[in-house]
C-alpha cells in the first residue's frame, strides 16, 4: 500500500516586504555547475528586478551555513545593505519540496531571532534545479543542499533592504502644523523637510536686515567709520537711539542691525554704502537677491518697515539665511545675546530662542503690523544642521513655538553615519606565489549627515588580483557611497600592508608545492 505523503504546510508570508519588491525578484541564472558550487563553495547568481538585471552576486558558502565568508563581496553592491547587516543573516529553514516547482520558501534569522519569511521564484530555465537537472549534473543530495544554501544566501541578501529598512528606519511622522501663515524647513543638503505656502510673497519685516548686512559687508570694511545721517536718526520703531552726527564703525552698526534689529542702524549703513542714497542701496539689495535666486523677493527699504511691494517668501528667506550664515561675521553676530553701542548703552537680542532653546545657532526676527511675527533661524544638534523660517504668526509666543517645533522636526529627520570607515577592509586582492592576500582599506574616513530612512549604498571598485610587490598605502581601488541619488563620500582604497615580491628561490618552492599537490590529486 502506498504511503500517504504528508501534507505540506503553506508558509506564512505575513512578514514579506511591502511594495511588491519580492515578487519582482527572479533568479535568472546560476553561472556555476553544481559541482563547482560544492568544491569551490561559490556560486554566481544573476538577478532581475522589474524586467531589468538588478545585480550580480558572488556567494561564498561555509559548511552547513549560507553565510558569506570574510572577504566575500558583491560584483555590484547596488542592492547590498549597509552596516554589515548581511553578516548577521542566517538561513534557518527551507521548504525544499517547493524547489521542484521553482519556488523557494526561505526563513531567515537576524541576531538570533527570526527576521522574515521570503518566497523566491526562479523562472529562467538556466536556474532550474529539478530532479532531471540534478541527475544530469550527477550530484548527490548533499551537494544539492549546498546549492540550495547558495540560493538562500542570494535570496536573503536581495531581501534585506525591504525588511531591514522597516526594522531600522521607523516610519517618519508627517510634518507638524504650526501657528503661522507660511513656513519652510530644509536640511544642510538643501532637501525640503517641511513647507507650507513657502513660495507665497509676504511682508518679512526686519528679516530684511540680513540682506542689508550682506550688501554692506561686500562694499565696506568693518573698520570704516560712519557719521550718522540725520535721516537715519529719525527712523523710528526698533532703534538703538542713534543721534545725527554720531560716529560709529561699520561693525558697531552691523551688530546693532542684526542683534537689536535697529532700524536706525540699518538706515545709517544704507546711506553710507549708497553714498547718501537709500534707493541706490536698495537697488544693490535687489541685485543681490536676483544673484542668489530669490525670485519671490523685492526690497523697498533696508530695514523692513511696512511698505508697498516690500515682500519675500519663506523659501527665499530660508535660502538667504543659509547664505548669510556662511559669512563668519554674520554667524557670530547672530549668536550674540546682546550688543553694546558706545554712548547709548547695552541692548539685548530680539531673539528669545537663543537663551531658551540650546540648538539654535542664530536667527533674525521680524515684526510689523502687516508682517506679523516672523523669524528665520538655523539649528544644530549632534552635528546635524537645519534651517527654517516662519512668517505671519499672530504673537511672539506662537512664532517662537512654531519655529522651535519645525526646526526640531527637521533635526529629527536626519542622522549622522559613518559613510566610510578607515579601519575597515572593503576588499581583498590575491597576490600569487603563495603570498598573503592584500586587504584594501579606505584612505580616509567620512562621516556624513543623511536623511532618516535613506539607505547608504557602498560601491567598491577593486581588483581581485594585484602584481607584486605591493607598497603599504598603495592605491589599488576606490569606494563610493551613495545616499538616494546623491554621492555623499568617496575615497581611494589602499593596501593595508606591504607584500614583497618573492625571489627566485621562493618562486621555485611555490611551483614545486603546487605541482606536487596537483599530482597527488590525480593519483587519488
- List the catalytic residues: 206, 209, 261
Q: Do strands 25-30 and 42-49 pair parallel, antiparallel, or not at all (unpaired)?
A: antiparallel
Kindly report the CA angle at 449 between 448 and 455, in degrees rounded to 5?
90
**ω into residue 469 within 30 of 0, thus cis?**
yes
Contacts of 251 (CB under 8 A, 6+ apart): 222, 223, 329
DSSP 423: T
474: left (phi over 0), alpha (psi -120 to 50) or beta: beta
Q: How far apart are the first and last CA of the chain?
A: 45
The dihedral built from the CA positions of residue 32, 89, 481 and 452, taken in this order, carries a sign that is positive
CB 77 within 8 A of CB 478: no
CB 369 within 8 A of CB 390: no
Instruction: Report d(CA 240, CA 220) in Å as an integer.
Output: 21
User: Please, how many CA atoms are within 13 Å of residue 307, restricted to the half-sphere of its CB?
Assistant: 13
Element (H, E) at 286: helix 278-291
Instruction: Report d(CA 436, CA 415) in Å as an integer.
Output: 39
- Helix 209-219 and helix 263-273, axial crossing angle in degrees, nearest 10: 30
- CA 284 → CA 211, 213, 299, 446, distances in Å? 10, 12, 10, 40
- Helix 278-291 and helix 209-219, axial crossing angle in degrees, nearest 10: 100
Q: What is the three-class DSSP state of 315?
A: helix
Torsion angles phi and psi, residue 304, rounded to 5: 100, 5
Cell numbers placing 149:
544554501
Instruction: Report d(CA 426, CA 439) in Å as an integer.
Output: 8
The H helix count followed by the E strand count for the chain is 13, 22
515 burial via Cβ count (<10 Å: 0-12, 13-18, 19+): exposed
Instruction: Report d(CA 73, CA 59) in Å as an integer.
Output: 8
Instruction: Report d(CA 406, CA 176) in Å as an integer.
Output: 7
DSSP 223: T
Amino acid at each position: 500500500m502506498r504511503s500517504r505523503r504528508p501534507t505540506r504546510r503553506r508558509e506564512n508570508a505575513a512578514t514579506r516586504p511591502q511594495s511588491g519588491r519580492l515578487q519582482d525578484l527572479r533568479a535568472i541564472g546560476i553561472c556555476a555547475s553544481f559541482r563547482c558550487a560544492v568544491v569551490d563553495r561559490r556560486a554566481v547568481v544573476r538577478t532581475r528586478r522589474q524586467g531589468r538585471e538588478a545585480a550580480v552576486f558572488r556567494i561564498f558558502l561555509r559548511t552547513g551555513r549560507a553565510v558569506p565568508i570574510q572577504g566575500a563581496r558583491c560584483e555590484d553592491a547596488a542592492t547590498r545593505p549597509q552596516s554589515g547587516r548581511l553578516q548577521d543573516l542566517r538561513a534557518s529553514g527551507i521548504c525544499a519540496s517547493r524547489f521542484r516547482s521553482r519556488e523557494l520558501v526561505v526563513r531567515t534569522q537576524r541576531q538570533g531571532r527570526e527576521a522574515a519569511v521570503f518566497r523566491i521564484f526562479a523562472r529562467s530555465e538556466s536556474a532550474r534545479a529539478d530532479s532531471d537537472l540534478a541527475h544530469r549534473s550527477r550530484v548527490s543530495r548533499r551537494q544539492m543542499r549546498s546549492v540550495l544554501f547558495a540560493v538562500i544566501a542570494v535570496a536573503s541578501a536581495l531581501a534585506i533592504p525591504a525588511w531591514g529598512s522597516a526594522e531600522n528606519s521607523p516610519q517618519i511622522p508627517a510634518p507638524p502644523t504650526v501657528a503661522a501663515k507660511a513656513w519652510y524647513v530644509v536640511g544642510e543638503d538643501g532637501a525640503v523637510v517641511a513647507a507650507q505656502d513657502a513660495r507665497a510673497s509676504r511682508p518679512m519685516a526686519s528679516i530684511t536686515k540680513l540682506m542689508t548686512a550682506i550688501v554692506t559687508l561686500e562694499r565696506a570694511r568693518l573698520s570704516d567709520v560712519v557719521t550718522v545721517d540725520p535721516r537715519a536718526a529719525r527712523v523710528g520703531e526698533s532703534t538703538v537711539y542713534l543721534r545725527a552726527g554720531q560716529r560709529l564703525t561699520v561693525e558697531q552698526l552691523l551688530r546693532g542691525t542684526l542683534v537689536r534689529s535697529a532700524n536706525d542702524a540699518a538706515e545709517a549703513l544704507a546711506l553710507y554704502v549708497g553714498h547718501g542714497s537709500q534707493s541706490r542701496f536698495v537697488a544693490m539689495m535687489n541685485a543681490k537677491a536676483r544673484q542668489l535666486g530669490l525670485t519671490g523677493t523685492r526690497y523697498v527699504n533696508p530695514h523692513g518697515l511696512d511698505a508697498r511691494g516690500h515682500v519675500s517668501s519663506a523659501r527665499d528667506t530660508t535660502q538667504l539665511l543659509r547664505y548669510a550664515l556662511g559669512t563668519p561675521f554674520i554667524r557670530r553676530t547672530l549668536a550674540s545675546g546682546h550688543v553694546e553701542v558706545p554712548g547709548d548703552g547695552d541692548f539685548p537680542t530680539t531673539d528669545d530662542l537663543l537663551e531658551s532653546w540650546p540648538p539654535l545657532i542664530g536667527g533674525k526676527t521680524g515684526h510689523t503690523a502687516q508682517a506679523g511675527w516672523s523669524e528665520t533661524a538655523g539649528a544644530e544638534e549632534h552635528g546635524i544642521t537645519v534651517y527654517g523660517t516662519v512668517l505671519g504668526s499672530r504673537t511672539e509666543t506662537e512664532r517662537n513655538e512654531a519655529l522651535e517645533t519645525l526646526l526640531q522636526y527637521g533635526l529629527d529627520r536626519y542622522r549622522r553615519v559613518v559613510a566610510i570607515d578607515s579601519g575597515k577592509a572593503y576588499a581583498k586582492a590575491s597576490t600569487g606565489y603563495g603570498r598573503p592576500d592584500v586587504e584594501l582599506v579606505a584612505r580616509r574616513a567620512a562621516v556624513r549627515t543623511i536623511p532618516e530612512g535613506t539607505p547608504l549604498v557602498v560601491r567598491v571598485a577593486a581588483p581581485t588580483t594585484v602584481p607584486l610587490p605591493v607598497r603599504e598605502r598603495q592605491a589599488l581601488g576606490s569606494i563610493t557611497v551613495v545616499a538616494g541619488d546623491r554621492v555623499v563620500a568617496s575615497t581611494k582604497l589602499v593596501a593595508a600592508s606591504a607584500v614583497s615580491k618573492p625571489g627566485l628561490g621562493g618562486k621555485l618552492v611555490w611551483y614545486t608545492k603546487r605541482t606536487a599537490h596537483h599530482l597527488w590529486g590525480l593519483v587519488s
